[in-house]
Chain A
Amino acid sequence: MGMKHFGARIKRLEDPRLLTGRGQFVDDLHLSGMLHAAFLRSPFAHARIRAIDPSPALALPGVFAVHSWRDLPASMRQKRLPLPVPNAAIRHQRTQYPLAIEEVSYAGEALAVVLAESRPIAEDAAALIAVDYEPLPVSADCRKALEPGAPKAHSDLPDNLGAAFALSYGDVALAFARARHVAAVSLWQNRGGGHAIECRAVLARHDPVEDALTVWIAGQSPHASKAQIAEMLACDANRVRVIMPDVGGGFGPKAIAYPEEAVIAACARTIGRPVKWVEDRREHFLATTQERDQYWDLELALDAEGRILALRGLLLCDHGAYFPWGIILPYIAATTTPGPYVLPAFHLDVKVVLTNKVATTPVRGAGRPQAVFAMERLMDKAAKVTGIDPVALRRRNLIGPERMPYSVGLTFRDGKPMVYDSGDYPLCQDKAAALADYANFPARQKAAREKGRYLGIGIGNYVEATGLGPFEGGTVRIMQSGRVAVITGAAGQGQGHRTAFSQIAADVFGVGPQDVDFIEGDTAMIAMGVGTFASRVAVNAGSSIELAARSVRAKIIKLAAHLLEASEEDIELAGGRAFVRGVEEMGKSFAELARIGQGMPGFSYPEGFTAGLEETQYFSPPQSTYCNGTHIAEVEVDIGTGRVKILRYVVAHDSGVLINPLIVEGQILGGVAHGVGNALLEWMKYDENAQPLTVNFADYLLASATDVPRVEVAHLQSPTPLNPLGVKGAGEGGTIPAAAAIISAIENALRPFGVEIADAPVTPEKIVALLDEAGAYEADR
């Protein structure tokens, strides 16, 4: 039978390579004859391009070529990138050209690429390209960009309203008319980035013998990149192979297919030499997609007991200049708003505004941190308005387990009705409150205050749609070596796919995880794939691998029974062999069976046996599965300096059945760290001309080891009925409610001054300004 690996805290199989510097990231690959690329990017947020003169760059020794849009293959010269997620609500379907033609619409948009013998020469040359720009008026502030006559983000479009829609159910007007209490908030969450420590990278090689392109990309979605490259280059997709080798973090921005990928692939094919482009950190700030930038105005109607009656409001989304992934961000944000609460009536207007900034696409959480921040700030406000304790107020409104499955009344981005499938939200909140010793916080707060210290506690609840379909694939094969091959299309960036999926397969075959050879992120290895994002891989790929492995197990048993002249019921699998139960010497090794299975002349299969000990499954979930959690933060605010110290941080979460608790905890802890950044540090600033002001890690701060607290985690495991493993996604839940909980705690600490916080992040200077405004320093004057 072998030991059960599924659910065990197994050390990761991928670690020894990565720990010893033997990883293979894109920039670690050195191909013979390789050229190095550097992009010329617009210094203006909005400008017309009058002329590009590459001659000074071409004169530099070591420069091989300079390509602007005119030098690209005819198929992509004047073709905008495909829009991957169309939506009827999009009014202006605007995506980027691979290289800008007449107009640039954000500072950082690429106009040309230099190919040179070395990266430094390529960069020197890019700086020498002469461009005649005509600066254009700039759409910089999404709140002003919808006014009549406002400067337009794209000069050929009629206005800046890129998309508009409303989500609604129930009688909101009636509910507000009947309300005893109304709470209102007006919030802003600024931009931030994914900032994987490895920036993006592309290496392309064209083989003229086979007319085949191989493109290595530091990314998340290999099949999407392959599809875009084949479309832009108008080449046979069978001759395009995208490989995502070791990838140094993803966090969302690496999930889309970027213009640079098609450009570098085209250059490699045109020139006949491998071409490598490695993004530097400044470019990452300029040209890699960002997130969060949303304004929310919300009102909540409550009855006399603090029960929610309705929510209404407006979500204004600064989407940047383009729609590289449709409008999934505002859509996810809008549908996440109701969260774990019984919300009888709902109306949210959503306006998606085009501005001259780099586009937004999902960053860890994907619109949900904003929605949770909005809803939880609103709940805190409601607690104040009603005079009910914030935790008790939430408890009163949580959807109880007896109501599962619970239909929210909205349609999710997968086109399916939003139905929460499982979970016990009140229990989850109770666990978090107990772990955080919420009951005794007032005593701690009082004791601290007597010593002049300001402590606060805050809570954030969330529900997250995970395991987004339509599918991810899994191929399972017994190889002629007797080892088990497991293959999936989605590329990993540190989530421990090798370990988790080896655990799944190992149990099915009665072998150990170390007997599994795992391949991911290579389009040549599996025909179709979607990608690693939306906390979807464990659900989709994990289920496919489980189902494929079960099929292969059945094939092993059928073949072994036939060869051993035994009945299928009597065949057992263990130690890499199939044998007759109780008579271990009567058996065949996996290696022998695989050789027969893959076709041995003169040997016929048993009836009903199809060729090969292999199977590919593309599991498609009926809908997303909903995980949930509660975060509680206890903080101390230094009212002199505005510094916030997180004293205690508690997470109770339910992501269904755990494949490997070690890995799931790692996902949560890392997610919280990102949330700490969103709450306290990460602020992508632009000036009034949409010029980015924070383009390095000195101006834009990521959370360091001294900013991030130790996190205590309680797991709940409500199996979802929606997939064969009972698993839900766990990659983003750590981030989603973190800013809400931390900022709630800061506001709680500053309650003696009546300070209310409506933005994220809350930097020390902002806290001091709020305190100053509230008159906290009057006595010192």
Chain B
Amino acid sequence: MTDRWRIRLKVNGKEYEREIETRLNLADFLRHELLLTGTHVGCEHGVCGACTVLVDGQSLRSCLMLAVQAAGKEIATVEGLGDPENLHPLQAAFREHHGLQCGYCTPGMLMTLVEFLRDHPDPDEAEVREAISGNLCRCTGYQGIVDAALAAAASLRENPLKG
């Protein structure tokens, strides 16, 4: 029944090694094994997008991936984006445009948009809406998020992130 594996992976550039149950999903692994609780869980069936993280640079619902499948991979979570005193331009734009209220869907929105803006540096509103259409927000009505994404895109075009 308890089928355990030892895995190594990198999260936000830091190396971790843990022995875990096969059935543990990546979201629960990040949250309860590594105590990186910034990644949130909203539906556990891949619809709400709150648990979105980047795996080797690709956005992915961490509730739909087993942690053992992430062995050897590089994970990026919201904790790696910026800190309260030094917000990532996307985070700063979310604040400026009231792109969050309760903040629960926010980490998933941010990680989805980090990937989207990297690949689509000059999107229009419809493209942004399409990009976040797999992330549910019950508070904002999305308008602030869309405005934040467009503003962040403009700001990142002007001042690209280093590295």
Contact = CB atoms under 8 A, between A and B. Distances in A.
A228 B146 CA distance: 41
Contacts of B138: 194-197, 249, 251, 670, 673-674, 702
A20, A23, A665 pick with most chain B CB within 10 angstroms: A20
A198 B102 contact: yes
Which interface class (under 10, 10 to 19, 20 to 34, 35 or more) fits B? 35 or more
A28 B104 contact: no
Contacts of B2: 61
B27 to A, nearest CB: 11
Interface string B124-150: 010011101111111111111110000
Nearest to A198: B104
Contacts of B70: none
Contacts of A198: 40, 42, 102, 104
Contacts of A27: 31, 37, 41
Contacts of B100: 15, 18-19, 494
B64 to A, nearest CB: 13
Contacts of A705: 128-130, 132-133, 135, 137, 142, 145-146
Interface string B3-25: 00000000000000000010110
B141 A671 contact: yes
B102 A247 contact: yes
User: Secondary structure of the A side of the interface?
Assistant: loop
A27 B104 CA distance: 12
Nearest to A675: B141
A518 to B, nearest CB: 15
Given A30-B32, A120-B23, A21 B84 contact: no
Interface in A479-519: 493-496
B104 A706 contact: no
A705 B113 CA distance: 13
A344 interface: no
A666 interface: yes
A670 B139 contact: yes
Given A20-B78, A670-B140, A665 B45 contact: no
A264 B138 CA distance: 27
A19 B146 CA distance: 16
Interface string A222-258: 0000000000000000000000001111110000000
Contacts of A495: 101
A247 B139 CA distance: 12
A663 interface: yes
B149 to A, nearest CB: 10
A751 interface: no
Interface in A643-691: 662-663, 665-666, 668-674
A33 to B, nearest CB: 15
A24 B37 CA distance: 8
Contacts of A663: 98
Contacts of A199: 42
B52 interface: no
A669 B50 contact: no
B104 A15 contact: no
Contacts of A697: 43, 45, 47-48, 136
Interface in B76-97: 77-79, 81-85, 87, 91, 94-96
B105 interface: yes
Contact of B103 (A248, A250, A280, A704): A248
B79 to A, nearest CB: 5
A28 B37 contact: yes
A25 interface: yes
A281 interface: yes
Given A195-B138, A705-B133, A710-B143, A670 B87 contact: no
B141 A670 contact: yes
Given A27-B31, A670-B138, A280 B44 contact: yes
A609 B128 CA distance: 59
Contact of B98 (A12, A17, A30): A12
B104 A20 contact: no
B137 A19 contact: no
A11 interface: yes
Q: How large is the interface on A (under 10, 10 to 19, 20 to 34, 35 or more residues)?
A: 35 or more
B101 A670 contact: yes
A496 B101 contact: yes
A17 B91 CA distance: 11
Q: Which residue among B31, B42, B95 has the maximum number of chain A CB atoms within 10 Å of its CB?
A: B42
B142 A673 contact: yes
A376 to B, nearest CB: 21
A530 interface: no
B104 A696 contact: no
Nearest to A251: B138
Nearest to B85: A16
Given A22-B84, A28-B31, A14 B103 contact: yes
Given A281-B42, A704-B133, A665 B98 contact: yes
Contacts of A672: 141
A329 interface: no
A705 B146 CA distance: 8
Contacts of B42: 197-199, 248, 281
Contacts of B32: 30
Contacts of A21: 36-39, 77-79, 81, 107
Given A11-B95, A20-B87, A663-B98, A246 B103 contact: yes
A662 B98 contact: yes
A154 B130 CA distance: 47
A197 B104 contact: yes
Nearest to A672: B141
Contact of A711 (B78, B101, B125, B143): B143
A251 B132 CA distance: 22
**Which of A197, A698, A706 counts the most chain B CB atoms within 10 A?**
A197
Contacts of B105: 197, 248
Given A19-B95, A248-B40, A673-B142, A702 B106 contact: no
Given A19-B87, A23-B103, A248-B102, 8 more contacts: A19-B110, A21-B107, A197-B138, A494-B104, A666-B101, A674-B138, A710-B143, A711-B143
19 contacts: A12-B95, A12-B98, A18-B100, A19-B91, A19-B94, A20-B78, A21-B36, A21-B107, A28-B31, A248-B105, A249-B139, A251-B138, A281-B45, A670-B138, A670-B139, A673-B142, A697-B136, A705-B129, A706-B133
Interface of B: 1-2, 21, 23-24, 31-32, 35-45, 47-48, 50, 77-79, 81-85, 87, 91, 94-96, 98, 100-107, 110, 125, 128-130, 132-146
Q: Which 10 A-B pairs have the closest CB atoms?
A: A21-B38, A248-B104, A18-B103, A494-B102, A494-B101, A669-B141, A16-B84, A28-B37, A697-B47, A673-B141
